[in-house]
Amino acid sequence: MARCAVVLAAGLGTRMKSSKHKVLHEVAGKPMILHILDQLSQLHLQQTIVVVGQAREEVMSVVGNRAEFAIQDEQNGTGHALQVATPLIQPDIDTTLVLYGDAPLIQAQTMERLFQCQEQRQAAAVVLTASVVNPTGLGRILKDAAGNIAAIVEEKDANPEQRKVREINTGIYAFATPRMRQSLALLKADNAQGEYYLTDTIGILRRQQELVLSCPVENEDEVASVNNRVQLAEVNRIFRRNLNRKWMLEGVTIVNPDSTYIDADVTIGRDTIIYPETYLQGTTTIGEGCTLGPNLRVSSSRIDDGAQLEQSVVLESVIHRSATVGPFAYIRPGSEIGVGVKIGDFVEIKKSAIGDGTKVSHLAYVGDAEVGERVNVGCGAITVNYDGERKHRTVVGDDSFVGSNVNLIAPVTVGKGAYLCAGSTITDDVGDDGFAIGRGRQVTKPDYVKAWKQRAQVEKPNSLKHEGR
Task: List residues with catalytic annotation.
Answer: 362
Distance CA 151, CA 206 (A): 8
Kindly provide the residue ranges of all beta strands, DSSP E only, lying in 291-352, ordered along the sequence: 291-292, 296-299, 302-303, 308-309, 313-315, 318-319, 324-325, 330-331, 336-337, 342-345, 348-350
Contact 348, 332 (CB under 8 A): yes
Distance CA 408, CA 401 (A): 13
The H or E element containing residue 131 is strand 125-131
Distance CA 200, CA 188 (A): 9
Please list, in sequence order, all residues whose beta carbon lies within 8 angstroms of the beta carbon of residue 403, skipping any fewer than 6 positions away.
378, 381, 419, 420, 421, 422, 423, 424
Distance CA 155, CA 239 (A): 29
Helix (H, G, I), strand (E, B) or coil at 245: helix
Distance CA 260, CA 278 (A): 5
Distance CA 9, CA 71 (A): 10
Report strand pairing: 302-303 vs 318-319: parallel
Report strand pairing: 435-436 vs 419-420: parallel
DSSP 271: T
Instruction: Establish whether the linkage from the previous residue to 327 is cis, with ω within 30° of 0.
Output: yes
Distance CA 160, CA 349 (A): 66
Rounded to 5, what percent of the chain is helix, strand, coil?
25, 30, 45
